[in-house]
Chain A
Amino acid sequence: MKTFLSLLTLLLATLAGHAKLNVVATLPDYAAIAKEIGGDRIDVTSLAKGPEDAHFVDAKPSFIRVLNKADILLEGGADLEIGWLPSLVANARNSKILPNGSGHVVLSENVKLIGVPTGPVDRSMGDVHPAGNPHYAMDPVNGKFMAERITQVLSRLDSANAAFYQSNNERFALRLDQKVTDWKRRLEPYRGAKVITYHRTFDYFLERFGFELVGTIEPKPGLEPSPTHINALMSRTKEQGVKLVIAEPFRPRRTPEYVADRIGAKMLVLPDKVGAVKNVTDYFGLFDYTVTQVETALKN
């Protein structure tokens, strides 16, 4: 009997071990938040790496393998991964992560998107996203909504650990609230400062902390900067007292540095997601780093 019981325990333990949810995120941001909620009771993988341009990730065959084993796919949505994810999902042979599958999560559904085009859209405007700006994870408040959604899905698919996920979510939300208050306090003195960004990657961040976006290095989303555009941008913004020119780490530095130099602004390279720069390994770190960088740059 004792042997039987211990065998049964072992079996249950093994089953429990197998039941550990396998979460695959398209971007490290979503993976980082999932990690906060699921802790060591879930496995988390991110397809894109931190330093990558999220719009242009290679559809590596190895990702098919990863997606084949996934219980949950966390996707940013709003057309962010449209260039590389659909064919991977279609070939992963995994009904759980197909659109409307039990584990298919489109995080943008829980978030209020900005930059939704109001009039008719066509591609003469560049690579516009009809659904809105997909870089919403750059607003820490959106982190709460994303975490909420992830918690719901984890709790539904692994009800045994639901309480664990929910308490983690509460803790995460609480900590994020405190942090946001702190970040806001630190950036409050610079409210209204004018900035230029390379791509519209930081709109949500700027919105949240009260900065004003006055132009982009790209003439239109996804297009290479042209001399005409850069000259027009500089002459337009020269007298406006622009404080910062912000670019993601993967962008070429020369043009934004040139612009910053000519209009008397500071050039700042800021992470666009978790892992984009060294030492930014989680979602809090992303904003700790960014806020510190902005604060330091604007202080002097």
Chain B
Amino acid sequence: MKLSKIVALSSALCLVTSVAQAQSNPELDQLKKQLQQMQQNFDRIQREQKQQIDALQKQLEAVQQNQTTAVAEQDKLKEQMSLRMDDVPRTDASELDRKPWRPTDPIRIGRGTTFMDIGLVGTFAVGGSTADDIGALQIGGHDPNQNGFTVQGLELSLSGAVDPYFRGNANILFALDADGESFVELEEAWLETSVLPGNLQLRGGQLLTEFGRHNVLHPHGFAFVDSPLVNARLLGPDGLRNPGARLAWLTPTPFYSELFFTVQNSHGENASSFRSSGGHRHGEEDEEQLPFAYRHFDNDRGVNGLDDLLFTPRYALSFDLNDSHTVLLGASAAFGPNSSGESGNNSTQIYGTDLTWRWKPVSHEGGFPFVMWQTEGLLRKYRAGEFDWDEDGNGGDEDGDGFVDGGILVDASTGLPAALGRETLTDYGFYTQLLYGFKKGWVAGLRFDYLTGDRGNYESMPLLISDGEGGGDLLGRDPLRNERWRVSPNLTWFPTEFSKVRLQYNYDDRRDIGVDHSVWLQFEFVLGAHAAHKF
């Protein structure tokens, strides 16, 4: 069509110019001849094109005809295949799929009919505790955070194949803190290779660090209402997660074993043992609470070199003892800088081991009965930096009233702001949990948590928080490192895979604080896609 337009236009142009020229040019006949020729050319081209179009149309019709015959043949084949099944109630699902979508139709989010699986998980808790500092008792980021109701999280999960080479996944969590303020967390958002050679797999984006068993779970995957203490204290209230990349290699051993290596940024609120400004908590904020290791952080730099990154290797192996017993063992470590003290540049090392043992008889209904025992132990070596509470060099007396100002840490032996030295702090702990699915839909659980830290030099100093008038409260052990333990029995009922109700009791014993009792009832729903269970 375009061609013919051009031809027509140029012919017209030629015509106009020719006519214009004809008045002053004696070679009129020749031009007339030319014009005639052009017109003939134009007609010929148009004719040819029409013929071509007709031919194509005929071909198209033929192809369509063939297609209908093919479809008819297919239907015939299907008919033959279905044999005597004609009386069976039938709706052809594929027929529905072929129907073109119109704007008035609902957006279908079933698996296989869209390019993304969408799921929504709502987790809520209600209950109470004898503790008046629930924020410090329940240290997990998504633990129940107050007496009464807690929105533990409303997690939106999106996943699917990006293209033949990548899978994509995102988990975005909405929740309310103890004050009723909404907050949003980017739990995870990554893409992962599906066809990397050499048994490798690469994942990049915002990811949960591949450290142990619990850290990679989203809150709705927990077997208890709350996070294990050791994970919340040593890896972070919300676990360890940050932007980065993870390389995983399925090693060529006769049994399953996999080597993971994760590299991430080491700063931000979700790397609380590293260059975080102290971690975050959605519970009742305690304004008076001293920072970890009684010293402030200096964390205003990003990543300036490799040593500003967080490196996490993990090795996991698993074997089946027989058809009903499976064991999984793992060892993890995380190395990175922390921002403790004035220099803001020290290092943290965290080591962890885990053991999972699962029994499920070969004959089971709906996955029940089963017994699962899972234990994780963690050890953290935290190099705390030097820190002088006399930050402005005025003896901590900025208002000039002769006393060290309120809120400043004072060394009682000198009466001056405390000068804390460099030292390595050792913290360790473990949790062990036993789950017994005794009847279809019913799971009884029992978990024991233990956590402590070796007394640091700063905890042996006679330190007090100044009240601004020459006095203050004497400090003992760092509450963020002190010994504590907890026993948590619970009972979970899964009406279906898509809902659960869980009742849990916690017996907490915090050294220097005492015993607390808490009872929580948790309820959860899953809408939409439900990711396949992992082991």
Which residues of A pack against B, CB within 8 Å? 49-53, 55-56, 58-62, 64-65, 68, 79, 82-88, 90-93, 95, 98-100, 110-118, 123, 126-127, 130-132, 141, 145, 207-208, 222-224, 249-252
Alpha-carbon distance between A122 and B78 when the two chains are bound, in angstroms: 29
Q: Among B161, B196, B367, find the residue whose CB has the most chain A CB atoms closer than 10 A.
A: B367
Chain B min CB distance to A273 (Å): 12
Alpha-carbon distance between A58 and B364 when the two chains are bound, in angstroms: 11
Indicate which residue in B89, B255, B362 contacts A62 across the interface (CB closer than 8 Å): B255
- The yes or no answer to B201 lying at the interface (CB within 8 A) is yes
- The yes or no answer to B318 lying at the interface (CB within 8 A) is yes
Alpha-carbon distance between A52 and B495 when the two chains are bound, in angstroms: 21
Chain A min CB distance to B2 (Å): 39
- The yes or no answer to B513 lying at the interface (CB within 8 A) is no
Q: Which residue of B lies closest to A109 (CB)?
A: B94
CB distance B496 to A115 under 8 Å?
Answer: no
- The yes or no answer to B328 lying at the interface (CB within 8 A) is yes
**Beyond known contacts A52-B364, A62-B256, A116-B90: 10 more, CB 8 A cutoff:** A53-B365, A58-B326, A58-B358, A62-B318, A83-B530, A90-B192, A93-B200, A112-B81, A145-B81, A207-B85
CB distance B532 to A83 under 8 Å?
Answer: yes
Alpha-carbon distance between A174 and B311 when the two chains are bound, in angstroms: 61
Q: Which residue of B lies closest to A115 (CB)?
A: B89
Indicate which residue in A84, A95, A131 contacts B195 across the interface (CB closer than 8 Å): A95
Alpha-carbon distance between A66 and B362 when the two chains are bound, in angstroms: 18
Chain A min CB distance to B115 (Å): 13
Question: Within 8 Å CB of A132, what residues of B?
Answer: 93
7 contacts across the A-B interface (CB closer than 8 A) = A49-B362, A60-B318, A60-B326, A64-B250, A112-B88, A114-B85, A116-B90
Q: Using a CB-CB cutoff of 8 Å, which residues 109-161 of chain B contact chain A?
A: 110-111, 161
- The yes or no answer to B75 lying at the interface (CB within 8 A) is no
Indicate which residue in A56, A98, A130 contacts B364 across the interface (CB closer than 8 Å): A56
Given A91-B201, A93-B196, A118-B91, does the pair A59, B534 have CB atoms closer than 8 Å? yes
CB distance B85 to A60 under 8 Å?
Answer: no
Given A114-B85, A123-B498, does the pair A251, B328 have CB atoms closer than 8 Å? no
Range, interface on chain B: 35 or more
CB distance B363 to A250 under 8 Å?
Answer: yes
Alpha-carbon distance between A246 and B195 when the two chains are bound, in angstroms: 45
CB distance A116 to B93 under 8 Å?
Answer: yes
Alpha-carbon distance between A127 and B167 when the two chains are bound, in angstroms: 26
Chain B min CB distance to A116 (Å): 5
Question: Within 8 Å CB of B201, what residues of A?
Answer: 91, 93
Question: Within 8 Å CB of B532, what residues of A?
Answer: 59, 82-88
Alpha-carbon distance between A118 and B90 when the two chains are bound, in angstroms: 8
Contact with A along B495-535 (1 / 0, CB 8 A): 11110000000000000000000000000000000111111
Chain A min CB distance to B426 (Å): 32
- The yes or no answer to B440 lying at the interface (CB within 8 A) is yes
Question: Within 8 Å CB of A53, what residues of B?
Answer: 364-367
Given A53-B367, A60-B535, A114-B88, does the pair A224, B440 have CB atoms closer than 8 Å? yes
Indicate which residue in B90, B256, B318, B366 contacts A222 across the interface (CB closer than 8 Å): B366
Question: Within 8 Å CB of B319, what residues of A?
Answer: 62
- The yes or no answer to B36 lying at the interface (CB within 8 A) is no
Q: Which residue of B lies closest to A222 (CB)?
A: B496
Indicate which residue in A118, A131, A224, A250 contacts B89 across the interface (CB closer than 8 Å): A118
Q: Using a CB-CB cutoff of 8 Å, which residues 486-501 of chain B contact chain A?
A: 495-498
Alpha-carbon distance between A86 and B111 when the two chains are bound, in angstroms: 12
Chain B min CB distance to A281 (Å): 15
Question: Within 8 Å CB of A123, what residues of B?
Answer: 496, 498
- The yes or no answer to B83 lying at the interface (CB within 8 A) is yes
Contact with A along B57-90 (1 / 0, CB 8 A): 0000000000000000000001001111100111
